[in-house]
């Protein structure tokens, strides 16, 4: 990377929620940012909202498709150079009783939440190793640290993300690349809005009552905000975070305490 060229960050699931907030933070830190997702209209709208068209771009890919991911990375790197910072934020959660969970639902949760992370890391890592510098931050979940009822496949996938983070961190430790995870608790995003809809339909609670029920697990009595998760991610991407490696950091108001 030339001395006068800004580092390049690629953020998956970046058109809204946590991913969009992360893109904002990294842009403010001076990085060029590529937003990656599946919906062209949402990506274009997010880029327009971020501004700085000379420093922000988008690519579309299904992260469950290795070939599509490789092609998207090639497109992104043709514009901004090697991906030095990778934030794996794309994810999906479906609530279902384990005995009613079919194999297709299981495979979908693994593909979106774990295999997609694998594909993106494999696309980014060679360039990081070549330049001897890189930051990989996987947005996991407190579901990667503890269990939650009715989301067994999601929990299994997010536990896999945390395990992948720790294993790869050891491999990359002497190559200038750090690998960490942030593990948000219930965060005020579209994903949680879907969870609220599910609670309301099954319990008859109002939206505010359902929201309060989700917030009960947070000792602060509230939902985490996307910007708070983004702050943790952005710190891990900085030069000064070079000694932080292989960590799974809860962003949850104290809900999960890991010794």
Q: Give the start-to-end residue ranges of the domains of the chain.
A: 8-185+225-251, 186-223
Residues in a beta bridge with 178: 135
The answer, yes or no, to whether residue 196 has pLDDT greater than 80, is no
Catalytic site includes residue 235 = no
* Nearest partner of 42 among 72, 70, 12, judged by Cα: 12
Q: Which segments of 81-219 does DSSP mark as H helices, in order?
A: 103-110, 116-131, 152-172, 190-203, 207-215
**What are the pLDDT digits (tens) for 146-177?**
999 999 999 999 999 999 999 999 999 999 99
Length of the chain: 259
Reported confidence tier of residue 3, pLDDT bands at 50, 70, 90: very low
Q: Output the average pLDDT for the chain.
A: 92
Comparison of pLDDT for 225 and 257, the residue scoring more: 225
**What are the pLDDT digits (tens) for 55-100?**
999 999 999 999 999 999 999 999 999 999 999 999 988 888 999 9
Q: Could you tell me which residues come within 8 angstroms of residue 86 by beta carbon, excluding any fewer than 6 positions away?
A: 9, 10, 120, 121, 124, 134, 135, 136, 137
Q: Could you tell me which residues come within 8 angstroms of residue 124 by beta carbon, excluding any fewer than 6 positions away?
A: 10, 73, 83, 86, 134, 136
Whether the model clears a pTM of 0.85, i.e. scores above it, the answer is: yes
| Cα–Cα separations (whole angstroms), residue 176 to 10, 85, 121, 129, 139 | 18, 12, 15, 7, 21
What fold does the segment set 8-185+225-251 form as a domain?
A: Rossmann fold (3.40.50)
Catalytic residue among 150, 154, 186, 235: 154
| Cα–Cα separations (whole angstroms), residue 156 to 37, 60, 104, 211 | 23, 26, 15, 24
């Amino acid at each position: 990377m030339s001395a006068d060229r800004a580092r390049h960050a690629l953020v998956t699931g970046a058109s809204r929620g946590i991913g969009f907030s992360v893109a904002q933070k990294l842009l403010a830190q001076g990085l060029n940012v590529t937003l990656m997702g599946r919906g062209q209209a949402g990506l274009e709208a997010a880029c327009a909202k971020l501004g700085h068209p000379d420093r922000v771009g988008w690519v579309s890919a299904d992260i469950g498709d290795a070939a599509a991911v490789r092609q998207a990375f090639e497109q992104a790197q043709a514009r901004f150079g090697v991906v030095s910072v990778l934030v794996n934020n794309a994810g999906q959660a479906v609530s279902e009783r384990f005995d009613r969970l079919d194999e297709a639902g299981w495979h979908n949760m693994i593909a979106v939440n774990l295999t997609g992370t694998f594909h993106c890391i494999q696309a980014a890592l060679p360039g990081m190793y070549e330049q001897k510098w890189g930051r990989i931050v996987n947005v996991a979940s407190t579901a990667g640290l503890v269990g939650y009822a009715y989301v067994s496949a999601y929990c299994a996938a997010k536990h896999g993300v945390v395990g992948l983070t720790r294993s790869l961190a050891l491999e990359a430790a002497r190559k200038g690349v750090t690998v960490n995870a942030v593990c948000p608790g219930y965060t005020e995003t579209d994903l949680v809005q879907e969870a609220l809809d599910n609670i309301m339909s099954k319990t008859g609670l109002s939206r505010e009552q359902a929201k309060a029920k989700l917030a009960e697990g947070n000792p602060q009595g509230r939902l985490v905000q996307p910007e708070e998760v983004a702050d943790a991610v952005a710190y891990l991407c900085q030069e000064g975070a070079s000694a932080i490696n292989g960590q799974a950091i809860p962003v949850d108001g104290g809900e999960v305490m890991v010794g």
